[in-house]
Structure 1
Amino acid sequence: MHTPPRLHTLLLSLPLLAAVAGCTSVDEGERAVKLKWGKAIEVVEPGMHWNIAPGLDYKKISMRRETFDAEASAVSSDQQRVDTSVTVNYQVEASSVLEVYTSIGPDTVKWERELRPKIMDAVKSTTAHYTVYELISKRDEVKNEIENAVIEAVPPTFTINSVQLTNFTFSQAYNDAIEAKQVAEQAALRAKNELAKNQTEVKKLEQQAEAERNAAVVRAEGEAKALEIRGKAWAEYVELLGPDGVAASLRQQEIEKWDGRAPQTVAGGNTSLMLPSGGGN
């Protein structure tokens, strides 16, 4: 009996199709739990694995890094409410794949559900050791302590790659108090700057007044010295010429200053004579 070509090709392909259908491919970044009639018996590495035997199956588990965000509310050591936001990066420990599968399962949502309470408790207990001011001023220290606390709290079946401290959120009352404090500090700074400015102006005026006083003293001392010198010179002059000589000298000075016109008034005794200032008949 002659077999049609298409049917012949199909018959030849059946073993290959059966082989492909009976294989499980495990990618890099994965492991697979080998099951025999539903019982986990071993973990297999990436590659192609046959599952053509009756009751044989494979369940894949991700070995890649998983991430989830969480927020924990706690009370600081100075009795302020603090909401702490963290981002956790983790993955299954390679040697614990079988244990994770049998105790939790391959679903990453269940992993997160298992880890979240432990991580939140670690964050809360760490936050409670610090005041609000210290949470801000010692952020790196707080972050390291939270990461260490999370690593200790998480079971060894998982590896914590990192814990990122993303934010602190404080109560509205505390935020209002901080804002009021900042406003008060700014007002105090403005007052301080204004006072410093006024003090500078006062000092400048004092320096100016001091300079003027010093200049006046110098002028007065100069004038006094000049008077002293003139007085001394006059005394020496009088002593040198004598009374008659001084009188003659004064008359000589008056003659030198005379403009050639006769005086209009001549005083003598108890009478004064008015002389004409110009010619006439």
Structure 2
Amino acid sequence: MSAAWQLVWLSIQARPRWFPSLSNPQRNIRKQHANCMQSKMSMGEKTLQIEIVTRRVIRTKPVTTRAEQLAADLSKDIVDGTLAPGARLDEHVLASRFGVSRTPVREALKRLAGLDLVEIRPHRGAVVVDMPATRISELFEALAEAEATCARLAAIKMSILDRERLSTLHEAFCALPDGSEPVRVATCNRSFHEAIYAGCHNGFLSDHVATLRKRLAPYTAAQFRLRSRPFDSAREHTRIVDAILARDGTGAADAARRHVMAVGHAWASWAQANMESDRERIGSSDTISPAMEHTV
């Protein structure tokens, strides 16, 4: 082979080093793509595993315990006014009523005590909280101001649907009979006020006023045991609704404030006339108050 051909041969042999193959970048891209896909698949498997674990945790979450259900039932009776302030909650009677042992009853009463709805007294058992009159008066003042703020904001922020719902609830309340059904009247009254809380479109304020109302629920419900109170309350509600529908924030706030303070005065009138006789009856009973006998 001549020297010239030898030089050409050597050039061909050395080509991969002097001129990198054009297929190498494509090969690298394919390799990187394969690695990326493998990484994504690995991440997808991990995500799937996490989702499976999360679903298992949700599925294995324990259902509501018997004690929680008992606490919910008793708190409803307290909020509705079926269990009056000062009513004794005997564990034996409650266990017999709900068909359970005393253990879940005891746990339920502890839960209610944590909500300040029940007071557990040494050697006397549990009773529905009966706060001092001064403390109740302070709570009514706080509730009046909170309700006034909710009504003022509701007059400004309520949507058309909010206003229609408030009007419907108000009409339903006005259509109720006299105070012969205090629990039903109290339930409808609570729905009316909750519509105003929702209509103010302020979650923090709504939660705050709902907490105050829940704390005072046994006392606000007691007012409807006065025969004239449902009619008076309906008239007070009318002033609130008229102001809200007219977008009169100041008028709505003033009407709501006056309404809540009237509720406080009504409760004081009922308490003064009936509380002493109720306490004597509760003290002479070894099991349960007449108010609770109605629900057993």
Higher relative contact order (CA 8 A, sep 6+): 2
TM-score (norm 1): 0.26
TM-score normalized with structure 2 length: 0.25
Task: Indicate the structure with greater strand content.
Answer: 1
Structure with larger Rg: 1
